Amino acid sequence: METQVPIVGKLDSEPHKGDPQSQAGVEMPSFTSAPFLAAMAALTLGVILSALTPYFADEAYYLAWSERLSLGYFDHPPLFAWLGAAFGGPRQAAFVCVVLTSALLADCGRRLAAPQWSWIPALYLWTPLGFASFLVATPDAACTLFFALTLWGVVTKRGVAVTLGVALMLWSKHTSVIALPGLIVVLGVRRSTQCLLPALALYAPHIFWSSGHGWLPWSFQGTRKLTGFWLHDFLGGQALVLGPVMLFVLVRWLKGSRTAQPGLWWISTPILAFWLMASMVTKVEANWPALAWPGALVGVSTALQSPPKGLVRWTAGLTILLGLLIALGTHWAPLQKGPPRDGGALAACVSALGGADSYTIRYQEQALLEAAGLAPQYRRPLERRRSQFDLWSPSETPRCGGIYVGPSEEFREACPDGRLGRIRCGGLVSECLCAER
């Protein structure tokens, strides 16, 4: 029997029961309606650009995880790797997550009688935050999906959904714990206990795995250093992932929603506040506060009285521009410029130097070459950042001899006591020759 989850304060209206078409102010959109067509346009363009964009290094890294399934990994919990294995790769998994996320958020809006609930999928998919999953798949896609499931459980008063959503969030990304304080406020202490304790029990196998592996990924993520004041970078990052117009709309809603919609406010604001404060002492990546925005997006849909066609146009325009720049830039920019990417092109450079005895000193190039079908040796300098590859097989200390694959500025670290031979790809692939004695 499901635990009924009460909501602290009204979310503006009680969840609807029965046929949604029979409820005042709630209409089901047709397949030819503007909201549906706008969402389908985003999905279609996302699939096209995804097919044109080669893997970035982190995506290749997650692909390597999905080929070696485990209860945990060096950097993150394992659920995104499991989904990658189930759906054929990280981008395919991210696509499924994004579609399901938009559907859950839309149903939250429908059940709250939001006048513009049918526009939620288009608004979400056309923000860079939602659209980026088509081009750069990360565990955030899975984490956001299960946060949306948790939100849906709160709105529908289904405790089982809340329990599963929280558990799967934790299995996706450990920083999802930041969402729990606001959720506890919304549920109340008694219902929080009923929902969250079973969620922690479902998450326990990963904790057990972590205890036997040096408390990874917590111990690794805990080594991040305080690097100074990055608030300006944080604000710019949020404007980039949401679009400046959407960011303005969401923040404006947050400022005025504490009384009108306390449940959604508490689900969203503490997450945003945490990362905002963190940005004052360290760098916060643009995607880290992703969980702050789904609840706010549902809240905006309840406040809009007319179709947000202008908002969709502004947001979609920026997203299309960014998507095209990413997709085309991966092909036009030299391989040594920009983020590590395109394992096929990198492998071709290695083959041009003979292809034998290649090695890397970073997880980025190692993952990209493995995704392209090569099996380079992994040699890690003692002081360099560790990665999952160090857990899979003991790495060797760099030495001379072989083909080094990695940034040219790190050649001396990768080829100690050696000398530079032939190079390819602007120095991204180079021979490491042993010095003559």
At residue 371's C-alpha, the angle toward residues 207 and 206, to 5°, is: 5
In a domain, 417, yes or no: yes
Report pLDDT digits (tens) over 76-102. Answer: 999 999 999 999 999 999 999 999 999
Predicted local confidence at residue 12, as pLDDT: 41
Residue 311: predicted pLDDT: 92
**pLDDT at residue 204 tops 90:** yes
User: What pLDDT, on the 0 to 100 scale, is given for residue 274?
Assistant: 97
Does residue 313 or residue 21 have the better pLDDT? 313
pLDDT value of position 97: 98
Q: What is the mean pLDDT of residues 288-314?
A: 92
Q: What is the mean pLDDT of residues 289-297?
A: 95
110/191 same-domain check: yes
Question: Roughly what angle, to the nearest 10 degrees, separates helices 180-187 and 189-211?
Answer: 150
Same domain, yes or no: 328 and 407: no
pLDDT of 16 higher than 70: no
Same domain, 214 and 125: yes
pLDDT tens for residues 418-432?
888 889 898 899 999
The answer on 394 and 322 residing in a single domain is no
Q: Is the pTM of this model over 0.85?
A: yes
411: which 2 tokens?
């050649």
Of the listed ranges 78-87, 115-124, 194-203, 376-385, the one predicted with least confidence:
376-385
- Provide the pLDDT for residue 245: 83
Cα R_g (the chain), whole angstroms: 23
- Are residues 192 and 167 located together in one domain of the fold? yes
201 and 56 together in one domain: yes
Query: Of 278-282, 336-340, 380-384, which gets the smallest average pLDDT?
Result: 380-384
Task: Identify whether 366 is part of a domain.
Answer: yes
Does residue 96 lie within any of the structural domains?
yes
362, 320: one domain: no
In a domain, 305, yes or no: no
Name the domain boundary from 271, 300, 332: 332
Give 195's contacts (C-beta < 8 A, 6+ positions apart).
3, 5, 153, 159, 162, 163, 166, 187
Question: In this predicted structure, what is the pLDDT of residue 260?
Answer: 74
- What range does the domain containing 428 cover? 343-434
* Residue 26 pLDDT class (50, 70, 90 cuts): low
At residue 191, the pLDDT reads: 94
For the cut 90, the answer to whether the pLDDT of residue 292 exceeds it is yes
Quick check: 10 pLDDT over 70? no
Cross-strand pairs, 292: none
Has residue 251 been placed in a domain?
no
pLDDT of residue 253: 87
* pLDDT value, residue 27: 63
Please give the average per-residue pLDDT across 398-426, as a whole number: 88
**Claim to verify: residue 348 and residue 214 sit in the same structural domain:** no
- Judged against a pLDDT cut of 50, whether residue 296 lies above it is answered with yes
Pairing verdict, β 358-360 and 429-434: unpaired
Q: What pLDDT is stored for residue 400 in this prediction?
A: 82
Q: What is the band of 13 on the pLDDT scale with cuts at 50, 70, 90? A: very low
Based on the domain organization, do 125 and 179 belong to the same domain?
Answer: yes
Residue 28 has pLDDT above 90, yes or no: no
Q: How far apart are the first and last CA of the chain?
A: 77
The total number of structural domains that make up the chain: 2
Same-domain pairing of 55 and 127: yes
pLDDT of residue 356: 72
Q: What angle do CA 139, 140, 144 make, to 5 degrees?
A: 125
The answer to whether residue 172 sits within a structural domain is: yes
Mean pLDDT of 377-384: 79
Q: Are residues 425 and 321 in the same domain?
A: no
Confidence check: pLDDT of 279 > 80: yes
- In a domain, residue 379? The reply is yes
Q: List Cβ neighbours of 369 (8 Å cut-off, separation of 6 or more).
A: 343, 346, 347, 350, 358, 360, 375, 376, 405
In this predicted structure, the answer to whether residue 2 has a pLDDT above a threshold of 60 is no
Query: How far out from the chain centre does Cα 284 lie?
Result: 14
pLDDT over 90 (residue 205): yes
Q: What confidence score (pLDDT) does residue 20 get?
A: 44
Residue 17 has pLDDT above 70, yes or no: no
* Shared domain check, 347 and 323: no
Taking residues 397-411, report their average pLDDT: 87
pLDDT tier for residue 31 given thresholds of 50, 70 and 90: low
